């Protein structure tokens, strides 16, 4: 059994398609198919079953995948530790983040860290709340910014870095545009522009509206803060966004207004895997972040 076979197997399992896996691996489709076939022959089982155009894992394939992913993650970590031992300042940090933090927060902290650690590399992965916890739990990334910070979790731990206020955003020609603050119930008859259901910002806004005594009428949904902000600025509705998502300037911007009743906030934290020692360079970055946000 070769390392290459395991790497090809994991890629096909994730993509559910040999052609797409081959494209990402930058090898011929026939090479991937051959290695998978040789792996199945060696194991004496079928790891995949064809369903339409896609390949789906068999039950034993799922079992094998969980083990192989752990092996490859441990191997990658071992190689990284050797590189760090030779030169800790030339290591790589694998970090995840939600889209709402990428505009200002992530570039700022990475730039500040690299002033004293110029040779450290960052491998960045954007994700949702659920996918970031999953990736940290699996060891696919070392650290992740996350919001809201999970109160407790079986596989991850960490610390809250900051608590951020959410503001109401409305079109510039709205009747409330000149207000410095509002009660959330003043928007109860307005159409809302919301994040789609897999995003925690949607849950935060929905809960706030419920506290204010109404269920928002959702007219549009989006997956990025830029989309939400742009639709509101264009007069398509109102919304709530974190302060960090409203720092950009430009000609087409909504009006932001503080919400006083109820005050709406979110926690932003940093998580890592429980009971697993971070790579040295990632641990240095973790400590830097805690000091940075103090």
User: What DSSP designation does 248 have?
Assistant: -
* pLDDT tens-digit map of 136-151: 998 889 999 999 999 8
* pLDDT tens-digit map of 202-248: 999 999 999 999 999 999 998 888 889 999 999 999 999 998 888 76
Instruction: Give the per-residue pLDDT at 78.
Output: 81
Instruction: Give the per-residue pLDDT at 205.
Output: 96
Same fold, 87-161+269-293 and 163-267: yes
Instruction: Give the per-residue pLDDT at 249.
Output: 61
Is the pLDDT confidence value at 270 over 90?
yes
Q: What is the DSSP string of 14-43?
A: HHS-HHHHHHHHTS-HHHHHHHHHHHHHHH
CA distances in angstroms from 92 to 11, 131, 221, 234, 278, listed in the order given: 22, 21, 36, 41, 12
Is the pLDDT confidence value at 188 over 80?
yes
Task: Please report, for the chain, how many H helices and E strands are present, in that order.
Answer: 9, 12
Q: Which fold is adopted by the domain 163-267?
A: D-Maltodextrin-Binding Protein; domain 2 (3.40.190)
Would you say domain 3-74 falls under CATH 1.10.3370.10?
no
Would you say domain 87-161+269-293 falls under CATH 3.40.50.720?
no
The whole-angstrom separation of Cα 145 and Cα 141 is 11
Could you tell me what percent of the chain has a pLDDT over 90?
Answer: 60
Q: Output b/e per residue, 185-218; b: 16+ Cβ within 10 A.
A: ebbeebbbbbbeeebbbbebbbebbeebeeebee
* pLDDT tens-digit map of 50-106: 888 888 999 998 999 988 988 888 888 788 777 766 666 778 899 999 887 877 788
Q: What average pLDDT score do residues 276-293 get? A: 91
Instruction: Give the per-residue pLDDT at 162.
Output: 93
User: What DSSP designation does 185 have?
Assistant: G
The whole-angstrom separation of Cα 77 and Cα 282 is 11
Query: What is the chain's Cα-based Rg?
Result: 23
Instruction: Give the per-residue pLDDT at 266.
Output: 94
Ramachandran quadrant class, 52 (left: phi over 0; alpha: psi -120 to 50; beta: rest): left
Mean pLDDT of the chain: 90
CA dihedral 283, 288, 291, 292 (to 10 degrees): -140
Q: Are 133 and 153 in contact (CB under 8 A)?
A: yes
The residues spanned by each domain of the chain are 3-74, 87-161+269-293, 163-267
Instruction: Give the per-residue pLDDT at 38.
Output: 92
* pLDDT tens-digit map of 33-49: 999 999 999 999 999 99
Is the pLDDT confidence value at 269 over 70?
yes
């Amino acid at each position: 059994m070769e390392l290459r076979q395991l790497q090809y197997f994991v890629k096909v399992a994730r993509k559910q398609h040999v052609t797409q896996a081959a494209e990402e691996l930058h090898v011929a489709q026939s090479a991937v198919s051959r290695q998978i076939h040789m792996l199945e022959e060696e194991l004496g089982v079928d790891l995949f079953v064809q369903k339409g155009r896609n390949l789906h894992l068999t039950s034993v394939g799922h079992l094998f995948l969980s083990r192989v992913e752990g092996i490859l993650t441990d191997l990658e970590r071992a190689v990284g530790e050797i590189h760090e031992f030779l030169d800790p300042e030339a290591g790589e940090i694998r970090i995840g983040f939600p889209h709402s933090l990428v505009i200002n927060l992530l570039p700022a902290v990475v730039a500040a860290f690299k002033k004293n650690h110029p040779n450290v590399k960052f491998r960045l992965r954007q994700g949702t709340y659920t996918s970031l916890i999953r990736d940290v739990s699996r060891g696919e990334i070392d650290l992740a910014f996350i919001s809201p910070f999970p109160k407790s979790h079986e596989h991850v731990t960490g610390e809250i870095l900051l608590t951020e206020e959410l503001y109401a955003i409305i079109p510039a020609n709205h009747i409330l545009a000149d207000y410095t603050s509002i009660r959330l119930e003043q928007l109860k008859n307005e159409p809302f522009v919301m994040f789609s259901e897999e995003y925690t910002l949607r849950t935060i806004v929905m809960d706030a509206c419920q506290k204010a005594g109404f269920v928002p009428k959702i007219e549009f949904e989006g997956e990025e803060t830029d989309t939400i902000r742009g639709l509101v600025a264009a007069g398509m509705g109102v919304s709530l966004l974190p302060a960090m998502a409203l720092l950009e300037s430009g000609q087409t911007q909504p009006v932001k207004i503080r919400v006083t009743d109820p005050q709406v906030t979110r926690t932003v934290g940093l998580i890592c895997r429980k009971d697993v020692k971070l790579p040295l360079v990632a641990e240095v970055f973790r400590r830097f972040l805690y000091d940075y946000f103090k």
